[in-house]
């Protein structure tokens, strides 16, 4: 297939064409020419404000295969990811069986051979994500695990977290933690504040996040590692206080990094007044003050990446009383547009948070936008607004908070492994 991308600004620091507007010709999955191109093609991609980057890499995707294929399969996950501009996904270990064996890692690798999107494993730190006993992390690393985390569950055991840092340090493997003190968050349904009080719903205080971040940073400092790259990564930071702690830690030189979920920029706890379970997420939507802090963290570089936190849930888990519904939203198809719409960042600064920075954190090789290289590309029209509708959803589950919302920045195409999604 012959695809011609016209007048696109290339965002890829490893490319000689970085920040330049060029035409790009892709033939059978290979970039054959970059420059001014006037020739016929099977598909010509144009836009008002066109950008081309390497394919997005997500640091936090929950797959329901293996184990719960009624909510999502790897095939539907790949379709949703490609529609959202992603070529690579880091799969959290909360599958059934848990990603704690070479067999499950190989299952993801083999599945990647027939899908447009590559699946990468984040292996469990503790057996069955229970926080009690270690998995065989070195063996899992050798088998291909790119990071270690308990995914949905925080590493609540301080001794486990500290020893995991020590254990993984020789490999320089990334330890990821979802910062939330479980006892403080227990039975909580949303952010603790005036809105939760008015709704009569138990809240999750910001302190639950901040205290866990304080603990982890103290243990990282106590370990006294010498590393030029992050060793501890905080997933889905949501509070101004938590982010301030991470900023100070970075200024002190601690090997730490963090991400935020794109949807955290779009909603506050006040939006939950109608008890819409599609707005029930973990961490919960916080206050306007917290959103401003996240925007500042993106601007000053405290935040290293933006993630989808894609967690498909079917009607049986979402269409019920608010207190009983599970936490989680789908996000792969809306993450970039939500970030562009609500972050306040220019496109040139936003794209690396989806491409180069996540790969660097995982020590992955960076795709290159240059002639004679395999095409791993995402094409974006940053000027195109669209209303996200349910019939656009490729996931088997429909639990999106953005249905009916207008967003800016449409993904026009994703090219990877000789496959093309538009």
Positions marked active-site: 309
Are the CB atoms for 50 and 8 separated by under 8 Å?
A: yes
Q: Which residue has the tokens 């094409």?
A: 379
Q: Kindly report the three-state secondary structure assignment for every residue of the chain.
A: CEEEEEEEEEECCCCCCCCCEEEEEEECCEEEEEECCCCCCCEEECCCCEEEEECEEEEEECCCCCCCCCCCCHHHHHHHHHHCCEEEEEECCCCCCCCCCHHHHHHHHHHHCCCCCEEEEEECCEHHHCCCCECCHHHHHHHCCCEECCCCCCCCCHHHHHHHHHHHHHHCCEEEECCCCHHHHCCCCEECCHHHHHHCCCEECHHHHHHHHHHHHHHHHHHCCCCCCCCEEECCCCCHHHHHHHHHHHHCCCCEEEEEEHHHHCCCHHHHHHCCHHHCCCCCCCCHHHHHHHHHHHHHCCCCEEECCECCCCHHHHCCCCCCCCCCECCCCCHHHHHHHHCCCCHHHHHHHCCHHHHHHCCCCCCCCCCCCECCEEEEEEEEEEECCHHHCCCCCCCCCCCCCEEEEEEEEEEECCEEEC
Are the CB atoms for 204 and 182 separated by under 8 Å?
A: no
């Amino acid at each position: 297939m012959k695809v011609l991308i016209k007048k696109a600004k290339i965002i890829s620091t490893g490319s000689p064409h970085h920040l330049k507007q060029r035409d790009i010709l892709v033939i059978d999955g290979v970039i054959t020419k970059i420059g001014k191109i006037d020739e016929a093609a099977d598909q010509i991609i144009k836009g008002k404000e066109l950008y081309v980057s390497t394919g997005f890499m997500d640091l936090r995707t929950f797959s329901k295969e293996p184990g719960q294929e009624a909510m999502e399969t790897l095939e539907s996950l790949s379709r949703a990811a490609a529609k959202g501009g992603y070529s690579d996904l880091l799969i959290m270990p909360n599958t059934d069986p848990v990603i704690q064996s070479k067999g499950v890692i190989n299952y993801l690798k083999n599945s990647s051979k027939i899908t447009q999107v590559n699946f990468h494993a984040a292996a469990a730190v503790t057996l069955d994500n229970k926080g009690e006993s270690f998995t065989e992390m070195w063996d899992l690393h050798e088998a291909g695990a790119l990071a270690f985390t308990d995914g949905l569950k925080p590493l609540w055991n301080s001794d486990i977290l500290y020893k995991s840092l020590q254990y993984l340090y020789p490999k320089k493997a990334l330890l990821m933690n979802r910062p939330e003190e479980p006892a403080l968050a227990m039975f909580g349904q949303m952010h603790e504040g005036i809105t939760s009080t008015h709704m009569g719903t138990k809240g999750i205080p910001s302190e639950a996040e901040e205290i866990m971040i304080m603990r982890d940073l103290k243990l990282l400092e106590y370990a006294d590692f010498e590393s030029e790259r992050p060793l501890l990564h905080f997933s889905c930071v949501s509070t101004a206080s938590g982010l301030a702690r991470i900023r100070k830690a970075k200024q002190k030189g601690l090997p730490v990094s963090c991400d935020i979920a794109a949807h955290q920029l779009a909603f506050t706890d006040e939006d939950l007044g109608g008890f819409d379970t599609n707005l029930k997420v973990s961490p919960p939507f916080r206050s306007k003050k917290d959103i401003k802090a996240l925007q500042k963290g993106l601007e000053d570089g405290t935040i290293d990446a933006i993630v989808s936190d894609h967690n498909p849930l079917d009607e049986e888990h979402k269409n019920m009383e608010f207190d009983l519904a599970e936490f989680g939203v789908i996000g792969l198809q809306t993450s970039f547009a939500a970030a562009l719409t609500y972050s306040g960042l220019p496109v040139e600064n936003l794209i690396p948070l989806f491409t180069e920075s996540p790969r660097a954190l995982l020590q992955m090789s960076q795709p290159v936008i240059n002639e004679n290289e395999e095409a791993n590309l995402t094409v974006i029209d940053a000027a195109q607004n669209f209303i996200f509708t349910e019939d656009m959803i490729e996931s088997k589950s429909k639990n999106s908070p953005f249905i009916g919302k207008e967003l800016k920045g449409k993904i026009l195409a994703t090219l990877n492994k000789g496959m093309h999604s538009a």
